[in-house]
Amino acid sequence: MTFQLPRAIYLLSVCNGFLFINQSLLITISALIGFQLADDKRWATLPLALQFAAIMVTTVPASLFMGRFGRQAGFLLGNTLGIVGSVVALYALFAHNFEGFCVATTCFGMFAAFANYYRFTAAELVDAEKKSVAISWVMAGGVIAALIGPNLANWSSKLFNAEPFAGPFAALIVVYLLSIGLVLAARLPPPDNTVSTDPVRPLGQIITQPVFVVAVLCQMLGYGTMNLVMTATPLEIQTHGLGMSSTALVIQWHVFAMFAPSFFTGSLIRRFGLIPVLITGVFAGLIVVSINLTGQTLAHFVIALILLGISWNFLFVGGTTLLTDTHRPAEKSRTQAINDLFVFSTVTVTALSAGALHYQFGWRVINFTVLPLYAIAAIAIAWLYRIQIRSTKINTSD
């Protein structure tokens, strides 16, 4: 079934693409910049970890801010923070200042904390039956990042002869300005400050719902496992002497695989249900590990990260869709905030540990580490399936 979606959905999709241009660019070059600037090379991935830490710390205030002042105000503030981060990154690179680059990636994380709510905004603009499709379309905008993000380092590296890594951050300023224009064009509805007559449940009651638990676990573990392997991949590629062009190619295919499935993930959810989509995401992740343990050629890296992107997409989009069924309108801001707090706490830990794990123990340990995480996700999905079957039997008997 084809749905007619509001114009704002497509504009938010492009904005989400711009968000992941930032993300994919940092994934491609952040560890390399950190390695270049840091005196202690074990801290090479600290700037990227600080980005995710900033997302974690900012996600609750961002949700509450938008609950009070509206989505549009929040997205405009977030993109402004992105511009500030780009300017600071330029200074840090020319001054050869590791701490300054850490400040810049923190600003990027604060921007992302606001921008991560693009997907929830999409669900709010459509009827309940269209939610999975609307979320998928917004996530599909990340394909823009696959086409532009990893190559931005190469395309813009000649802007400043003295510092090749500076060019991408100058280009990001333009990206943030374009995003601001699209947010304004979307004309998102103002915040609903009317007093709701619906009872608001305690947060503890909301987060102990089985559906909430599984929704959060799928997002946490899908994003965390993906981030651990993905963050370490450029370092492993460098270890084998494959170079910057190989890193850009691998990350480009990975980011494409993260978002291209979104053109049909929502339809798959509607046709087959959430459980099959989620469990497929887990199996794709397990195949990634087997490929990474088999060899470390360019082909291995490309194929593994394509499957890693698909795994992330099914678990993250599926988990996000599942979460929208766990809260009432008046509970939206708190529920979404605590969800993203859990998710990006996990992402922060994996980003921070990736560099140290790779440096101390190597590539094989990185891959063995994610196996129990996928196992937990599979158990949680099976638990939800059992609950749904039991509920169906009870309803049928009534």
pLDDT digits (tens, 9 = 90+) for 239-251: 887 877 788 788 8
- Torsion, Cα of 282, 336, 116, 14 (10° steps): 90
Q: Is the residue at 317 inside a domain?
A: yes
Residue 395 confidence (pLDDT) above 70: no
Q: Which residues contact 95 (CB under 8 A, 6 or more apart)?
A: none
Report how far residue 363's alpha carbon sits from residue 354's, in angstroms, rounded to the nearest whole number.
10
Residue 195: the pLDDT is 55
Return the percentage of the chain with pLDDT > 90, whole number.
Answer: 49
Phi, psi of 261 (to 5 degrees): -60, -20
Return the HEC string of 271-293. HHCHHHHHHHHHHHHHHHHHHHH
Q: Which domain holds residue 381?
A: 9-190+202-397
Residue 35's CB: how many other CB atoms inside 10 A? 17
Residue 64 in tokens:
């509450």
Residue 295's CB: how many other CB atoms inside 10 A? 10
Confidence band, pLDDT 50/70/90 cuts, at residue 21: confident
Confidence band, pLDDT 50/70/90 cuts, at residue 398: low
Residue 289 confidence (pLDDT) above 70: yes
Q: Is the residue at 300 inside a domain?
A: yes
How would you class 185 by CB atoms within 10 Å of its CB: exposed for 0-12, middle for 13-18, buried for 19 or more? exposed
Residue 1: the pLDDT is 46
CB contact at 8 A, 256 and 142:
no
Report how far residue 344's alpha carbon sits from residue 109's, in angstroms, rounded to the nearest whole number.
10
Q: What sections of 141-209 are H helices per DSSP?
A: 143-156, 166-186, 203-207
Q: What sections of 295-331 are H helices per DSSP?
A: 298-323
Give the mean pLDDT of 342-352. Answer: 84
82 vs 41 pLDDT, higher one: 82
Give the mean pLDDT of 53-58. Answer: 88
CB contact at 8 A, 266 and 136:
yes
Residue 397 confidence (pLDDT) above 60: no
Which residue's structure tokens are 């000649």?
158
pLDDT, mean over the chain:
88
Q: Is the residue at 2 inside a domain?
A: no
Residue 13 in tokens:
């999709």
Residue 45 confidence (pLDDT) above 80: no
Three-class SS state of 287: helix
Number of domains in the chain: 1
Give the mean pLDDT of 200-222. Answer: 93
Residue 127 confidence (pLDDT) above 90: no
pTM: 0.81
Read off the CATH number of the domain in which 152 is found. 1.20.1250.20
Least confident of 61-75, 188-202, 223-237, 309-323: 188-202
Phi, psi of 69 (to 5 degrees): -110, -5
Q: What sections of 324-362 are H helices per DSSP?
A: 332-360
Q: Is the residue at 4 inside a domain?
A: no
Confidence band, pLDDT 50/70/90 cuts, at residue 13: very high
Residue 94 in tokens:
């020319």
Give the mean pLDDT of 300-326. Answer: 94
Give the mean pLDDT of 322-346. Answer: 88
Residue 358 confidence (pLDDT) above 90: no
Residue 389's CB: how many other CB atoms inside 10 A? 11
Give the mean pLDDT of 376-385. Answer: 95
Q: Is the residue at 1 inside a domain?
A: no
Which residue's structure tokens are 């991949």?
233
Confidence band, pLDDT 50/70/90 cuts, at residue 121: very high
Q: Is the residue at 195 inside a domain?
A: no
Report how far residue 37's alpha carbon sits from residue 196's, in angstroms, rounded to the nearest whole number.
52
How would you class 187 by CB atoms within 10 Å of its CB: exposed for 0-12, middle for 13-18, buried for 19 or more? exposed
Least confident of 48-62, 79-93, 219-233: 48-62
In sequence order, what DSSP letters do the residues of 192-213 get, joined into one string?
A: --SPP-SPPPPHHHHHTSHHHH
Q: Is the residue at 196 inside a domain?
A: no
Q: Is the residue at 197 inside a domain?
A: no
Report how far residue 358's alpha carbon sits from residue 362's, in angstroms, rounded to the nearest whole number.
4
Distance linking the first and last C-alpha atoms of the chain: 32
Which residue's structure tokens are 């991560």?
116
Report how far residue 315's alpha carbon sits from residue 319's, in angstroms, rounded to the nearest whole number.
6
